[in-house]
Structure 1
């Protein structure tokens, strides 16, 4: 379980720092740049990153933009919590917003 959690954390940090724009909608997190994109799909027993599967059971998932929890839209923070049987471990991944984030 720790290995899968570490793999997921590493992939999320790399993608957050590699892609300029992040969007969330209906259990799907989309990372976009001018030349590429990656999608994460969050299911109850696994997380799918394009064709790569992380076999990890998630508890609560909270998505943030500008410090507020959101249901869909632009993203700058993600908190993933594991169920109690996994010692309530959690991940918090974030990115710093620059001026381009607020220009449409």
Structure 2
């Protein structure tokens, strides 16, 4: 009679494989958690960068126009800032969530807080400085734009 011999193969046991699977699941779970946190941080940074870019574009446009136009008027009823000179004019309309300048739209929540003429706060009319504010949940941002008056302002 022949005896059947079983040779033992070198292999992992079921319990060893289960331990490796559990450790792998934990590592993958941690990796996805960290990835989620990194993505949320990147989205927050991207949103802040976009908002800052829009605010800086608005500030730059106001500075350029304040020094380009000789007459600046503000109407508190419509919340419109109109800038004029001999060759033309432009205006800024301040709405709840955006500011419109001719055909440009700045999606920023800046509002006209105060307007000034010769250092005195006024309600409306000819101005030489404007203070804009932006308030939100965690935001309290201010923007101040002014110009030096020339003789033409006082003659008119």
| TM-score under structure 1 length normalisation | 0.92
Bigger proportion of residues as helix: 2
Structure 1 residue runs of 4 or more that deviate by more than 6 Å after TM superposition: none
Larger Rg, first or second structure (1 or 2):
2
Q: Does 1:80 align with 2:132?
A: yes
Per-residue deviation at 1:69? Answer: 1.6
Instruction: Flag structure 1 segments of 5+ consecutive residues without an equivalent.
Output: none
Greater RCO, 1 or 2 (C-alpha within 8 Å, sep 6+):
1
What's the counterpart of residue 82 of structure 2? 30
| TM-score under structure 2 length normalisation | 0.63
Aligned-partner Cα distance in 1 for 2:138–2:59: 16
Instruction: Flag structure 2 segments of 5+ consecutive residues without an equivalent.
Output: 1-50
Matches within 5 A, 1:30-69: 30-59=82-111, 61-69=113-121
CA contact (8 A) 1:60 1:82 kept: no
Bigger proportion of residues as strand: 1
Distance change >3 Å, CA 59–CA 102, structure 1 → 2: closer
Taking only aligned residues, the RMSD between alpha carbons, in angstroms, comes to 1.4
What's the counterpart of residue 55 of structure 2? 5
Aligned residues: 104
CA contact (8 A) 1:58 1:80 kept: yes
Per-residue deviation at 1:84? Answer: 4.0
